[in-house]
Amino acid sequence: MALARKEERESERTCIVTRRREPPEAMIRFVRGPDGVIAPDIRARLPGRGVWVGARAPLVAEAAKKRMFARSLKEQVETPPQLAEDVDRLLEADCLQMLAIANKAGAVTAGFNKVADLLARRDVGLLIEASDGGADGKRKLRQSARRAAGESKQENDGAPPIIGLFTSTQLDLALGRTNVIHAAVAHGGPCTSFVSRCRRLAAYRGATLDGASLAAQTMRDEMPDAGGRPDESVEISGSEAAEDRKLDE
């Protein structure tokens, strides 16, 4: 156990803002580019000496504002003022690229009806909801997911994760389809890799996987249960039927 703890400590990196040691997957690496500009290295693969910042947008913004990169690297570097936003875009693109890979592997199903059928068969590794999709369709599929998982008021371990970090347009581009509002990813390696990347993006944004802010999630969790039993049937609205027709075209 002592050896394991030593290896764990040696694999950790120190955040230049908080001075806390964390595992690399919980941090963002930055390097000085050939042009002297600080560049995010979200996969930690670029050559050269790097510095690390906790993978949270406020920490990256603080490091940029206070010129901590130059002090840590002990050399002149230019830090873009929009660095925190640049990191967000890179993390987002990394997620969507993994989703595209999962789609090419045949692991992604899109369309309200098709996703509902998969949920009924308990053959879903995760659900994807467009952040700008209708609330009614999201509610219906979440109810289906809870029923399929046999969720009680005390447990939800069996329910698939719900990803709500991307707009319909972003999902369209990643999947090469139009009007994607609801999708599902089958269990397997691509699903695991996609969820891992989404967790990193959500943590960076201070959000949950479904796109809600952590503060809003806390308030929602603390609200008393209104009671009542959700509908057992999943009725298809006009907008959901239209989504399926467009995907089938």
Q: What's the N-to-C CA distance of the chain in angstroms?
A: 57
104-117: buried (b, 16+ CB within 10 Å) or exposed (e) per residue? eeebbbbbbbbbbb
Rg (CA), the chain: 21
C-alpha 97/C-alpha 235 separation (Å) is 33
**For residue 175, what are the CA distances in angstroms to 97, 104, 131?**
10, 8, 16
Closest Cα partner for 181 from 140, 138, 145? 138
Closest Cα partner for 35 from 79, 98, 89, 5? 79
C-alpha 97/C-alpha 99 separation (Å) is 5
| pLDDT attached to residue 236 | 45
**For residue 147, what are the CA distances in angstroms to 81, 159, 241?**
47, 9, 22
Q: Domain 88-248: which topology?
A: 60s Ribosomal Protein L30; Chain: A; (3.30.1330)
| pLDDT attached to residue 152 | 36
The residue ranges of every structural domain in the chain are 2-81, 88-248
Residue 69 CA from chain centroid, whole number? 27
- How many other C-beta atoms are found inside a 10 Å radius of the C-beta of residue 138? 18
What's the predicted TM-score (pTM) here? 0.80
In eight-state DSSP terms, residue 161 is: P
User: From first to last of its 249 residues, what are the pLDDT tens digits of the chain?
Assistant: 443 444 444 579 999 999 999 999 999 999 999 999 999 999 999 998 899 999 999 999 999 999 999 999 999 999 999 999 999 999 999 999 999 999 999 999 999 999 999 888 888 999 999 999 999 988 888 888 887 776 434 344 568 899 999 999 999 999 999 999 999 999 999 999 999 999 999 999 999 999 987 655 544 545 454 444 334 334 444 455 455 555 544
Q: How many residues does the chain have?
A: 249
Query: Does the 2-81 domain belong in CATH 2.30.130.60?
Result: no
Residue 19 in tokens? 């001075």
